[in-house]
């Protein structure tokens, strides 16, 4: 993981999220209040715009700037959760050394753990954690393997299955929880956007 990797991933994710924005917006309007996609898009735009400011910085500093930008520029649940994610990544030790696959996995795992604590949500509550927590578990299995590309295909599959599984869940966290039975039958918009992010990044790592 490097600063240029982060910037290029942010650009790819931005493209994919923009392509799927209409779908996510509709999902959120069905069970939320419709702000999720705008928050994610605003956040990605702000991160991509940071390119000139962070491209020559050490990784820890760049992650910290991304965290602060996400935290202060997005708002809503997404801002707090993704801000927490990047802040936790920035606090990892030894970021001045080479960040290999193992180290990157550990950073992502600790970032997702911090998101779980901030949002107080677990698997089965119809939120983005339904995708992120199983992905984190899989990365924990994969992190020590020298040939990790086949494993990343499994991560892609897990993310997709878990995203789809939110469709029949009752929400017990987030704004959809106020709907009770009426939230059933719709995929959680946060689970969908998280799955798209994971899908994009894993594919890019596999193809490089």
Partner 1 sequence: MKKFINNNDDFLKESLTGFGKAHSDIINVNLDPSFVSRKNKTKDGKVSLISGGGSGHEPMHGGFVGHGMLDAACPGFVFSAPTPDQMQAAAEHVDSGAGVLFIVKNYSGDIMNFEMGAEMYSGKNDSIITNDDVAVEDSTFTIGRRGVAATVLVEKIVGSLAEHSGTLEECKKLGEKVNKNAGTMGVAFTSCTVPAAGKPTFDIGDDEMEFGVGIHGEPGRKREKIQPSKTIVGNILEAILDNLKPEKNEKNLLFVNGMGGTPLTELYLVYEDACQILQSKGIQVTKSLVGNYCTSLEMQGASITLLKCDDEILKHWDAPVHTAAMRWGM
Which residues bind to partner 1, rule: CB under 8 A?
25, 29, 31-35, 38-39, 42, 71-81, 83-84, 118-119, 170-175, 177-180, 182
Residue closer to partner 1 (CB basis): 36 or 138: 36
3-class secondary-structure state, position 110: helix
Of 110, 117, 132, the closest CA to residue 194 belongs to 132
Least CB distance to partner 1 at residue 163 (A): 19
Least CB distance to partner 1 at residue 77 (A): 4
Round to whole Å and give the CA distance between 117 and 14.
26
Q: Which residue has the tokens 């940071």?
A: 50
CA-CA distances (angstroms) from residue 134 to 162, 190, 205? 8, 15, 19
Helix (H) or strand (E) holding 41: helix 36-49
Residue closer to partner 1 (CB basis): 83 or 189: 83
Q: Is 27 left (phi over 0), alpha (psi -120 to 50) or beta?
A: alpha
Residue closer to partner 1 (CB basis): 83 or 151: 83
Least CB distance to partner 1 at residue 166 (A): 16
Residue closer to partner 1 (CB basis): 48 or 206: 48
Name the DSSP letter for residue 35. Answer: -
Length of the chain: 208
Residue closer to partner 1 (CB basis): 31 or 158: 31
Round to whole Å and give the CA distance between 89 and 109.
9
């Amino acid at each position: 993981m490097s600063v240029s990797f982060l910037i290029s991933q942010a650009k790819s994710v931005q493209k994919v999220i923009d392509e799927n924005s209409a779908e996510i917006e509709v999902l959120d309007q069905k069970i939320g209040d419709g702000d999720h996609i705008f928050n994610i898009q605003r956040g990605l735009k702000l991160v991509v715009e940071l390119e000139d400011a962070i491209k020559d910085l050490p990784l820890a500093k760049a992650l910290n700037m991304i965290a602060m930008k996400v935290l202060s520029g997005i708002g809503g649940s997404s801002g707090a959760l993704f801000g927490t994610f990047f802040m936790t990544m920035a606090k990892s030790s030894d970021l001045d050394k080479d960040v290999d696959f193992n180290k990157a996995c550990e950073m992502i795992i600790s970032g997702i753990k911090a998101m779980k604590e901030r949002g107080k949500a677990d698997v089965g509550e119809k939120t983005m954690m339904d995708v992120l927590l199983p992905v984190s578990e899989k990365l924990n299995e994969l992190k020590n393997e020298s040939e990790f590309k086949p494993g990343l295909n499994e991560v892609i599959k897990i993310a997709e299955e878990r995203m789809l599984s939110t469709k029949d869940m009752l929400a017990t966290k987030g704004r959809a929880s106020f709907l009770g039975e009426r939230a059933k039958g719709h995929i959680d918009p946060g689970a969908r956007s998280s799955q798209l992010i994971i899908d994009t990044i894993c594919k890019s790592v596999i193809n490089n």
